């Protein structure tokens, strides 16, 4: 078959290079090949468009002035350093002599040259002289001294005894070097001051904000606590829910002439749930909520506390209706006159401003004040009166029903085994706060995880209860057999008396495992919650407390220190029976 030359179209279809698809490029390439490789490179280099030069990046405004000021500052520092070096190291060292010795050298005609600048005289001697200084003989030729008196006739006096001497008399001008050396620390601190002032003016520094409030504002993204998360204080919840209803529907109460309460004070022991109630109010109210601690008001600077109180209530007025919560208000609301500074105490000035803001001439409509404290006895009476805190809500330790509710709240998010009896746990934990119950549930969950269990069992709760109420188990404590036997009989004495006494609570647990500071524990389970104890019940407590000591005497016929806790408890009960409860027949 005869071979035919491929057409331009076929070359374009079979080639992957876009350059070969152009007939013009093909013809140029053929010419380049015919004319030589070097010439082809020159033609291709000539066809490339010139690369545009990138314009220089403009300097930010004010940058040249800053650069010039920096180099001027560096030049001044270099000049001052050079003159200081020249004056200290390159100048001829001169010995400072007395004016009397100078007059002696003048009268001897021993001066080579002299310079008089105001009251300062310096020069050199013809012949080296000697003088005693600090018990040593010092030889010198260059000297300096100060003129005593007027000194106007000094040049004539020198020329009389030292003819032909060169005397330079001049007035001291302004010494720029001395001025720069003196002002050098200020020049060094000037850039630092400029940076600090610029930061304060930009608003990024807290130096000008020490008088502003430190209150935290609850935002929508903050995890909320509602009244469903609070148990054991139903009456307090009801009072606070009514305040929230005031904020949501004020017309419902105002149509009958009622007004919204200005403040509510939460009173109760530590851990009873006062702060948790405030968090629930913040989650339920749907209004701005400002939270602050009482200790955040007072600082070391005078007037800062009062300024922060004013700023806090100004923010509250701008965001009305709103709620302001102050935790641990006893830090700022103590009795006036109790401080070391008297009426000028900074804390008292802060309290005075707080009293004025809560109920003064200015109206604070829509701003509700909620505070919490566990020391109501130290608060100032003016702070507790109606018009400032209209409601005083007592948040006490929960009863058995409240403790059961708290257990249910804190066990909602953990897997609980079927053998867990929350009612029994509530009965076995009398007199503890809600915070202790929350800690107990958390310890039980940690124990179950440590034991590789899928659910938290009743045994985990019992161990956690003992850990929270009695202390950690002291497995490392080494006890002798005699100590262990004595502890066993001691706890058996408690248990036997508790078992035999009529009307006593049923026995719950007897153990000789050391926990905390105790070598053994005997506990009982109350059948019901008691808020008032009779004389017979207190006497039964005394009998149970002394049962361990009685068992030791009967079995071993000697006494030990193991009953120290029992004796302390029995002494306290007996003292209260006589001094506080009036149960003594002789008093």
CATH number of the domain enclosing 552: 1.20.58.760
* Residue 547 lies inside a defined structural domain of this protein: yes
Domain count within the chain = 4
* Residue 456 lies inside a defined structural domain of this protein: yes
* Residue 42 lies inside a defined structural domain of this protein: no
Which residues, 6+ apart, have CB-to-CB distance to 454 below 8 Å?
Answer: 415
CA distance linking residue 247 with residue 250, whole number of Å? 6
Peptide bond into 200 cis (omega under 30): no
* Residue 499 lies inside a defined structural domain of this protein: yes
Looking at the structure, do residues 193 and 240 belong to the same domain, yes or no? no
Handedness of CA 77, 80, 85, 86 (dihedral sign): positive
* CATH number of the domain residue 417 falls in: 1.10.8.60
Looking at the structure, do residues 445 and 388 belong to the same domain, yes or no? no
Q: Which two tokens stand for residue 142?
A: 């260059």
Looking at the structure, do residues 430 and 487 belong to the same domain, yes or no? no
Looking at the structure, do residues 490 and 434 belong to the same domain, yes or no? no
CA distance linking residue 168 with residue 513, whole number of Å? 102
Is the Cβ–Cβ distance between 80 and 178 less than 8 Å?
no
Q: Which of 417, 444, 470 is the last residue of a domain?
A: 470
* Residue 315 lies inside a defined structural domain of this protein: yes
Q: Which two tokens stand for residue 184?
A: 């050098």
Paired residues of 122 in beta bridges: 115, 144
Looking at the structure, do residues 381 and 408 belong to the same domain, yes or no? no
Question: Coil, strand or helix: which one is 448?
Answer: helix
Q: Which of 372, 394, 416 is the last residue of a domain?
A: 394
* Residue 551 lies inside a defined structural domain of this protein: yes
Query: Which segments of 267-399 does DSSP mark as H helices, in order?
Result: 274-285, 304-318, 346-358, 381-384
DSSP letter (8 states) at residue 560: -
DSSP letter (8 states) at residue 344: G
Looking at the structure, do residues 378 and 410 belong to the same domain, yes or no? no
Looking at the structure, do residues 174 and 95 belong to the same domain, yes or no? yes
Backbone torsions φ then ψ of 168, nearest 5 degrees = -105, 115
Looking at the structure, do residues 240 and 324 belong to the same domain, yes or no? yes
* Residue 452 lies inside a defined structural domain of this protein: yes
Per-residue pLDDT tens, the chain, 587 aa: give them: 444 444 433 334 344 444 444 433 443 444 444 444 444 444 444 455 555 555 555 545 545 656 666 677 777 677 666 666 655 555 567 888 888 888 888 888 888 888 888 888 888 888 888 887 777 788 888 888 888 877 778 888 888 888 888 888 877 666 666 676 677 677 677 777 777 777 665 554 454 555 566 666 665 555 678 888 899 888 999 999 888 888 888 888 888 888 888 889 999 999 888 989 988 888 888 888 888 888 888 776 667 888 888 888 888 888 888 889 999 999 888 888 765 554 457 788 888 888 888 886 666 677 889 999 999 989 999 999 888 898 999 999 898 999 999 999 999 999 999 999 999 999 888 888 999 999 999 999 999 999 999 999 999 999 999 888 888 888 888 888 999 999 999 999 999 999 999 888 888 889 888 888 888 888 888 877 777 889 999 999 999 999 999 999 999 998 888 889 899 999 999 999 999 999 988 87
Which residues, 6+ apart, have CB-to-CB distance to 579 below 8 Å?
Answer: none
Backbone torsions φ then ψ of 323, nearest 5 degrees = -125, 135
Looking at the structure, do residues 154 and 228 belong to the same domain, yes or no? no
CA distance linking residue 392 with residue 261, whole number of Å? 11
Q: Which residue has the tokens 């998360």?
A: 229
Looking at the structure, do residues 379 and 405 belong to the same domain, yes or no? no
Paired residues of 120 in beta bridges: 117, 146
Q: Which of 424, 444, 470 is the last residue of a domain?
A: 470
* Residue 31 lies inside a defined structural domain of this protein: no
Question: Coil, strand or helix: which one is 454?
Answer: coil
Peptide bond into 512 cis (omega under 30): no
* CATH number of the domain residue 192 falls in: 3.30.720.210
CA distance linking residue 552 with residue 571, whole number of Å? 19
Active centre residues (catalytic): 491
Domain limits at 409?
400-470
Looking at the structure, do residues 382 and 422 belong to the same domain, yes or no? no
> Half-sphere exposure (CA, 13 Å, Cβ side) for 117?
10
């Amino acid at each position: 078959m005869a071979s035919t030359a491929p057409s331009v179209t076929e070359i374009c279809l079979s080639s992957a290079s876009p350059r070969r698809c152009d007939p013009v490029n093909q013809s140029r390439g053929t010419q380049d090949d015919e004319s030589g490789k070097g010439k082809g490179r020159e033609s291709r280099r000539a066809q490339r468009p010139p690369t545009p030069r990138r314009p220089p990046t403009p300097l930010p405004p004010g940058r040249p002035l800053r650069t010039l000021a920096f180099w001027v500052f560096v030049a001044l520092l270099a000049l001052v350093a050079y003159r200081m070096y020249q004056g200290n190291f390159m100048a001829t060292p001169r010995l400072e002599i007395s004016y009397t010795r100078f007059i002696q050298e003048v009268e001897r005609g021993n001066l080579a040259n002299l310079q008089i600048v105001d009251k300062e005289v310096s020069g050199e001697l013809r012949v080296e002289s000697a003088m005693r200084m600090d018990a040593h003989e010092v030889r010198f030729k260059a000297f300096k001294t100060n003129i005593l008196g007027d000194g106007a006739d000094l040049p004539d006096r020198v020329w009389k005894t030292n003819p032909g001497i060169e005397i330079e008399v001049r007035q001291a001008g302004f010494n720029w070097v001395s001025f720069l050396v003196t002002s050098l620390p200020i020049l060094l601190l000037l850039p630092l001051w400029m940076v600090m002032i610029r930061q304060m003016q930009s608003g990024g520094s807290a130096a000008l904000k020490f008088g502003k409030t430190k209150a935290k504002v609850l935002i929508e993204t903050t995890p909320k606590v509602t009244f469903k998360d609070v148990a054991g204080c139903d009456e307090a919840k009801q009072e606070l829910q009514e305040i929230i209803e005031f904020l949501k529907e004020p017309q419902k109460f105002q149509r009958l002439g009622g007004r919204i309460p200005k403040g509510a004070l939460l009173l109760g022991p530590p851990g009873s749930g006062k702060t948790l109630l405030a968090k629930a109010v913040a989650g339920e109210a749907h209004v701005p909520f400002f939270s602050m601690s009482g200790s955040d008001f007072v600082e070391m600077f005078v007037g800062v506390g009062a300024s922060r109180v004013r700023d806090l209530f100004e923010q509250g007025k701008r965001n009305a209706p709103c709620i302001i919560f102050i935790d641990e208000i006893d830090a700022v609301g103590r009795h006036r006159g109790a401080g070391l500074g008297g009426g000028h105490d900074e804390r008292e000035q802060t309290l005075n401003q707080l009293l004025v803001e809560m109920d003064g001439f200015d109206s604070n409509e829509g701003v509700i004040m909620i505070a919490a404290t566990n020391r109501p006895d130290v608060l100032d009476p003016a702070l507790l009166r109606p018009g400032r805190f209209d409601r005083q809500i007592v948040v006490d330790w929960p009863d058995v029903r409240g403790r059961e509710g708290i257990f249910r709240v804190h066990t909602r998010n953990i897997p609980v085994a079927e053998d867990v009896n929350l009612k029994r746990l509530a009965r076995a934990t009398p007199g503890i706060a809600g915070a202790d119950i929350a800690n107990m549930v958390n310890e039980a969950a940690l124990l179950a995880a440590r034991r590789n269990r899928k659910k938290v069992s009743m045994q985990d709760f019992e161990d956690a209860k003992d850990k929270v109420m009695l202390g950690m188990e002291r497995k490392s404590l080494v006890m002798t057999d005699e100590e262990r036997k004595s502890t066993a009989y001691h706890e058996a004495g408690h248990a036997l008396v508790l078992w035999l006494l009529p009307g006593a609570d049923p026995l719950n647990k007897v153990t000789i495992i050391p926990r905390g500071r105790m070598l053994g524990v005997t506990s009982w389970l109350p059948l019901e919650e008691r808020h008032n104890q009779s004389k017979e019940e207190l006497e039964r407590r005394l009998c149970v407390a002394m049962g361990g000591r009685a068992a030791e005497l009967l079995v071993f016929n000697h006494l030990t220190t193991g009953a120290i806790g029992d004796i302390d408890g029995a002494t306290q009960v007996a003292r209260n029976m006589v001094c506080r409860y009036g149960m003594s027949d002789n008093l």
